[in-house]
Amino acid sequence: MEISSLQKARYGYSPKLPKMLRGGISEICVSEGAETTSVADCEKIKALFPNTYGKKEIVFKKGENTAAVKKQTVGVILSGGQAPGGHNVICGLYDALKAANPENVLFGFKNGPSGLIEDDYIVFDDAYIDEYRNTGGFDIIGSGRTKLETNEQFAIVAEVCKKHGINAVVIIGGDDSNTNAAVLAEYFAANNTGVQVIGCPKTIDGDLKNEDIDCSFGFDTATKTYSELIGNIGRDANSAKKYWHFVKVMGRSASHVALECALETQPNICLISEEVAAKKMSLSQIADYIADSVANRAAKGMNFGVAIIPEGVVEFVPEFSVLIAEINELLAGSKADAFNELPTWEEKYAFIKNGLTEASMEVFAILPQSIQQQLFLERDPHGNVQVSLIESEKLFSALVADKLAARKKAGTYSGKFSPIHHFFGYEGRCAFPSNFDADYCYSLGYNACLLIQYGYNGYLSKVSNLSKPADEWVAGGMPITKMMNIERRHGEDKPVIKKALVELDGKPFKYFEAHREEWAVETSYLNPGAIQYYGPTEVCDLTTKTLALEKAE
């Protein structure tokens, strides 16, 4: 396979480890802290996880390694969507296993959790691992979205592990994947299988974070990649001076990506879904808010701008959520067939009008026809609207165009509005990891090996103090149950890792809030440029603006 010059160079990069993990594996000991409780619903979570709940947090330190000496045979899977750095988690795990004992073995199960169930794997060796060091993507073994959640699946996984002599499984994934890791760990403990489960925190969306996890891996690289593109667009907008760019970015459940990109690039507008929900903003109010920026800039002769839109923002608009719920009810069961058999959009529109409440129909009526039709396209497996398919960047530019047309008619606006649309999602998921993500992910994998060596089960590999240089990072582990609460999923109570939303009283949002009025009117764009891998530390190893602001002293 032909490779680029940068890829060749990245193979040779040596990721930085926390000081406590450097040197020999034999010189790393463990320090146990206090017992833990779940973030909420303690009694319910404890009842569901009697064998793995309440375990102690741990930190690794320099000292004599007191773990029992035995051969380790470990399996690893990548679960869910791609995030930059996943390869380095596996590389760090592999290197630590081999450093502890050259006889240790690492199985890579292919295409996510299904690889464990189907016993589809590769046994890693040096030559194979070396081709993936410090590179983006999940192609080292592939990923998948199969959920490990039934006892039947767990029993199969236990048999696969027994067949190969596997004593630990490392699951690299997001909140759902690590929830499943905790449930699998509980099953293994309850059935005395002798198999440990360790999780690693991954998601570019940034919503797998809490007081213990500074950030999930991949967030740094993805937001830097998007910010480079948005910075380029801002420079182009200021050069051409005739287009408004509406940029949708990843973030279905939270707006961390949008906020970080706004802090990096200083656009005229950035919607924050959590604020939309807190203020109960309507579609009309949001459109007016954006239109105000367009009009104020036009009054200064600037008929151009940049707006960042989180992909899930419409779900946070109360009136839109009600509309979606009514549409789901309107097309429940056989009623969907009756709707789909109608030959024209006019007839379908009449069907919709007859089935919605007056308030929801008012919301539906203001949507552009293309968006109206998107609401009635493919349904998810449960028959519900797939809100993620809605082109929210086009929705808001169309609503803004309507607002501006009304203002022009009223004589309060005389500018030009020419919107252009972008969606940055896949562009960032497999980028070459930044030095930060390369170091962080390698440390997570290395750290996971030590958690296995010391016999921990149902733990998350944890590396914290990430706003400091890698020398000062703190490596250890925490029970996954500590992050859990109970949520209603499909009519049932389910234990899940609590998603982290943007905190409206947090330092990153407060900084944004303090500057956005100026950014809305002025041309304050920053162009952060491409990710840098070589050069001064302050250029190559800098962390996200979000983390820097959160940890500012």
CATH number of the domain within which 361 lies: 3.40.50.460
Q: Is residue 479 classed as helix, strand or coil in its secondary structure?
A: strand
**Is 133 in contact with 13 (CB distance < 8 Å)?**
yes
Question: Which of 464, 489, 514 is the C-terminal boundary of a domain?
Answer: 489
> Is residue 7 a part of any domain in this protein?
no
* Average pLDDT along the chain: 94
Residue 398 has pLDDT above 90, yes or no: yes
Looking at the chain, the whole-number percentage of residues with pLDDT higher than 70 is 98
Check residue 375 and give its pLDDT.
Answer: 87
Residue 380 has pLDDT above 70, yes or no: no
Please write the tens of the pLDDT for every residue from 318-367. 999 899 889 988 888 778 888 889 999 999 999 999 999 999 999 999 99
Judgement on whether residues 521 and 448 belong to the same structural domain of the protein: no
**Is 545 in contact with 264 (CB distance < 8 Å)?**
yes
Tell me the C-alpha distance between 546 and 553, whole Å. Answer: 14
> Is residue 187 a part of any domain in this protein?
yes
Please write the tens of the pLDDT for every residue from 409-426. 999 999 999 999 999 999
For residues 261-290, give the mean pLDDT: 97
Judgement on whether residues 146 and 183 belong to the same structural domain of the protein: yes
354: left (phi over 0), alpha (psi -120 to 50) or beta: alpha
Longest dimension (CA), the chain: 81
Judgement on whether residues 333 and 373 belong to the same structural domain of the protein: yes
> Is residue 345 a part of any domain in this protein?
yes
Cβ-Cβ contacts under 8 Å for 520 (sequence gap 6 or more): 268, 269, 292, 293, 296, 297
Please write the tens of the pLDDT for every residue from 53-101. 999 999 999 999 999 889 999 999 999 999 999 999 999 999 999 999 9
For residues 502-530, give the mean pLDDT: 97
Say which amino acid occupies 300: K
Judgement on whether residues 198 and 318 belong to the same structural domain of the protein: no
Q: Which residues are catalytic?
A: 205
Q: How far apart are the first and last CA of the chain?
A: 48
Question: Which of 463, 489, 515 is the C-terminal boundary of a domain?
Answer: 489
Check residue 333 and give its pLDDT.
Answer: 77
Strand order in the sheet with 305-310: 269-270, 305-310, 244-249, 419-424
Judgement on whether residues 481 and 535 belong to the same structural domain of the protein: no
> For 322, phi and psi rounded to 5 degrees?
-65, -45
Check residue 439 and give its pLDDT.
Answer: 98
E strands along 465-543, which residues?
Answer: 474-479, 484-489, 492-497
Check residue 490 and give its pLDDT.
Answer: 66
E strands along 363-516, which residues?
Answer: 419-424, 459-464, 474-479, 484-489, 492-497
> Is residue 495 a part of any domain in this protein?
no
Check residue 125 and give its pLDDT.
Answer: 98
Judgement on whether residues 447 and 542 belong to the same structural domain of the protein: no
> Is residue 2 a part of any domain in this protein?
no
Judgement on whether residues 172 and 225 belong to the same structural domain of the protein: no
163: Cα within 13 Å, side-chain hemisphere: 14
| Residue 159 structural domain | 33-218+433-489
Kindly state the tokens that stand for 356. Answer: 């919605």
Domain count, the chain: 2
For residues 361-385, give the mean pLDDT: 82
Check residue 1 and give its pLDDT.
Answer: 66
In terms of DSSP bridges, do strands 56-62 and 474-479 run parallel, antiparallel, or are they unpaired? antiparallel
Check residue 42 and give its pLDDT.
Answer: 96
Judgement on whether residues 484 and 531 belong to the same structural domain of the protein: no
**Is 320 in contact with 283 (CB distance < 8 Å)?**
yes
Please write the tens of the pLDDT for every residue from 454-505. 999 999 999 999 999 999 999 999 999 999 999 877 678 889 998 899 999 9
> Is residue 3 a part of any domain in this protein?
no
Kindly state the tokens that stand for 13. Answer: 């990069």
Residue 382 has pLDDT above 70, yes or no: no
Among 46, 76, 250, residue whose Cα is nearest residue 177:
76
CATH number of the domain within which 128 lies: 3.40.50.450
CA distances from 218 to 32, 190, 203, 429, 459 (A): 29, 33, 6, 7, 20
**Is 486 in contact with 96 (CB distance < 8 Å)?**
no
Check residue 126 and give its pLDDT.
Answer: 97
3-class secondary structure per residue, 47-84: HHCCCCCCCEEEEEEECCCCCCCCCCEEEEEECCCCCC
Query: pLDDT-based confidence at 381, cuts 50/70/90?
Result: low
For residues 152-173, give the mean pLDDT: 97
Judgement on whether residues 212 and 234 belong to the same structural domain of the protein: no
Please write the tens of the pLDDT for every residue from 187-246. 999 999 999 999 999 999 999 998 889 999 999 999 999 999 999 999 999 999 999 999
Judgement on whether residues 62 and 110 belong to the same structural domain of the protein: yes
**Is 259 in contact with 509 (CB distance < 8 Å)?**
yes
**Is 292 in contact with 407 (CB distance < 8 Å)?**
no
Kindly state the tokens that stand for 12. Answer: 């040779």
Residue 2 has pLDDT above 90, yes or no: no
> Is residue 460 a part of any domain in this protein?
yes
427: Cα within 13 Å, side-chain hemisphere: 16
Looking at the chain, the whole-number percentage of residues with pLDDT higher than 90 is 84
> Is residue 147 a part of any domain in this protein?
yes
281: left (phi over 0), alpha (psi -120 to 50) or beta: beta
What angle, rounded to 10 degrees, do the helices at 345-355 and 318-330 form? 110
Tell me the C-alpha distance between 552 and 285, whole Å. Answer: 34
Judgement on whether residues 425 and 537 belong to the same structural domain of the protein: yes
Judgement on whether residues 519 and 482 belong to the same structural domain of the protein: no
